[in-house]
Amino acid sequence: MKYWLSLVILTGVAGLRAQTLHSMHFIPFSQVRIDDQFWAPKQQKVATATMDACIYQTEINTPRIRNFEKVARHQGEKHEGIYYDDSDVYKALEAMSYAISNTRDPKLEATADRWIDVIAAAQEPDGYLNTYYSLNGLDQRWTDMEKHEAYCAGHLMEAAVAYFQATGKRKLLDVAIRLADHIDRTFRQARRPWVTGHEEIELALVKLAKSTGEDRYVQLAQYFLDQRGHGYGKGKIWDQWNDPAYAQDAVPVKDQKEITGHAVRAMYLYTGAADVGAMTGDTGYQKAMNLVWEDVVGRNLYVTGGIGSSGRNEGFGIDYELPNEEAYCETCASVGMVFWNQRMAALTGDGRYMDVLERSLYNGALDGLSLTGDHFFYGNPLASHGQHSRREWFGTACCPSNIARLVSSLGDYIYAVDDLAWYIQLFIGSETILPAGNTQVHIRQLTNYPWSGNVRIAIQPESPVRHELRIRIPGWASGVPVPEGLYRYETKQEEPVKIRINGQAVEFGVEKGYAHLTRTWHPGDTVEVELPMAVREVLSRDEVSADRDRFVIQRGPLVYCVEGTDNPGKAWSFWAPEGTAYRAFPYRVAGEPVMAIRIQARGLAPANRGSRVEDVPRTLTAIPYYSWANRGNTDMQVWLPRRIKAVEIR
């Protein structure tokens, strides 16, 4: 395991943190080894099938890499593709970085190095880097706030930091530093107003600051945040929508109270705002983020953790407007929910943000990746009549590389530390080394989560040490499907969470969603957590008209759906009244081992030679939502009808 590099990076961060709101920081992917039965195979598929797809589409089937080569040749060639296509190269590079850290694949690393050489050759002498303007005229650069220049630059910075963490190579990092310095000179140092049409650079600058120890990049991120809401936004997107709220530019960031506009832009902005708030100690960002977050999870969050109900603006509509078959729920937005909620957890030390992160990760985001790793969803509906199918690629190809980088970087989200405690944030088979005063402790998780709620945590300190271990108790395990308000369980959780230390049951208190276990830890200590995995029914508020007289099946962190492939002719023409019986059982979906759920439901069938219909019992099979649409086009429902009046007869 490569610990040394990440520890150096974390040391660099410490010098920047003059003030903090909460001292929690997450252990980076390069310090975590995942051998989980659920996630390790997915990471392997991303490192092979998904990366193969990204490399083929980026380098061979589309002109994305070719544009960089044209810039380097200086022969007056024309740009091909869309003005933001550079970002897909950078996101793919970032995903490669995590995959290289996970697999040590020399072929993948050689491809990344070759791409980095091409990118570096395309950088302008003053540090500027954007193939669209280098090929179409540098005199037009930084004139249209919607042309994604800062967005592309941000993804380059994220890729550079990830590749440096994964390999120790700094060629791309040096490119990112020169570009960041160019942008800093152009805007912050010149006091030139600029509102990024598509946010992303704000969070990326904080990553670059942590990696380099350069505080100017945090100042630049804050400068960009503070430009919003003052009428500086100009360009196509403001003219097209005639609504600054589309790009979160209607009011200053610290004054924002509700979620608006394009969902992915919002997630990247609020992730950056939380990052800057944590780095600077500015509580104004935390106050605003808390209000916006409450609006998202209380009125605008799908039960899958997806966000953005409207395809018209790829974002948010009115409160409680959460249609199912027409749900947009872009994969990138669910990925952004993971980013933002991680930062909010670090900012506040509150486990409810990790609850939402987990919901988005296992459902809304993971649904964007096929079980084979080489087909993708852009939008993720919660119902279908067979018109939805996964695709090999997209013209705007943000989602494939985005879900690839999330799955590959999963180690970033499992463990955290602060001045008082170690944190187990996600239950994923893995190991890491955490600090405890002047010593270190090796921590290893063994689990079959999410199929089983049993988690074994082995504690191996270098020497006995008194410290606190905080284990997140998921809201679903304590009876809260998401922070209370929008959704609720039909029945109360009766089975308690159990914790044993060295085989002995212990009592524990729960604060902000974490069980607190303080003791002197010795080599060989074990903590066993038993989470109840009963099948639960989730209901929505009455204001969500699409879900009236309907319910959702959830088991552990997973939301389930009924798909036509498992239930021929029955994916819509059934209902499940109160008191329906459920049974979880092992099953396979396109070769994927899952726990499916058998439902004893009711349906309508023709009788008396078709002259009437009658109510008959039906046995249905529900599968995890993330696994649907992997066996061809078929009907599907997440929100199941409770009463006959909600049934569609087909």
Q: Which residues are catalytic?
A: 314, 398
Q: Are 158 and 112 in contact (CB under 8 A)?
A: no
> Does residue 629 come out as left (phi exceeding 0), alpha (psi in the -120 to 50 range) or beta?
left
C-alpha span between 340 and 346 (Å, rounded): 10
C-alpha span between 38 and 34 (Å, rounded): 10
Q: Are 379 and 327 in contact (CB under 8 A)?
A: yes
Q: Are 160 and 104 in contact (CB under 8 A)?
A: no
C-alpha span between 69 and 73 (Å, rounded): 6
What is the DSSP secondary-structure string of 233-273?
Answer: --SHHHHHHS-GGGGT-SS-GGG--S--SBHHHHHHHHHHH
C-alpha span between 270 and 316 (Å, rounded): 15
Phi then psi dihedrals of residue 409, to 5 deg: -100, 20
Q: At what angle do helices 86-103 and 149-167 cross, to 10 degrees?
A: 20
C-alpha span between 79 and 67 (Å, rounded): 6
Amino acid at 410: L
How many whole angstroms from its chain centre is CA 371? 18
Q: At what angle do helices 201-212 and 4-14 cross, to 10 degrees?
A: 100
Distance (Å) of CA 395 to CA 88, 199, 335, 420: 11, 20, 19, 48
Q: How many CB atoms lie within 10 A of CB 231?
A: 11
C-alpha span between 358 and 557 (Å, rounded): 7
C-alpha span between 307 and 360 (Å, rounded): 9
Q: How many CB atoms lie within 10 A of CB 18?
A: 9
Phi then psi dihedrals of residue 470, to 5 deg: -115, 125
Distance (Å) of CA 233 to CA 131, 230, 263: 23, 8, 18
Beta-carbon contacts of residue 638 (< 8 Å; ≥ 6 apart): 303, 304, 324, 382, 383, 552, 559, 560, 561, 625
Beta strands in 27-67 (DSSP E): 32-34
Q: At what angle do helices 263-280 and 216-226 cross, to 10 degrees?
A: 130
Distance (Å) of CA 168 to CA 6, 340, 625: 10, 27, 38
Tell me which long-range contacts 114-121 makes (C-beta under 8 A, separation of at least 24): 115/59, 115/65, 115/89, 116/163, 116/171, 116/172, 116/175, 117/171, 118/65, 118/68, 118/69, 118/72, 119/68, 119/89, 119/156, 119/172, 119/175, 120/171, 120/172, 120/175, 121/68, 121/71, 121/72
C-alpha span between 97 and 160 (Å, rounded): 9
Beta-carbon contacts of residue 358 (< 8 Å; ≥ 6 apart): 426, 474, 557
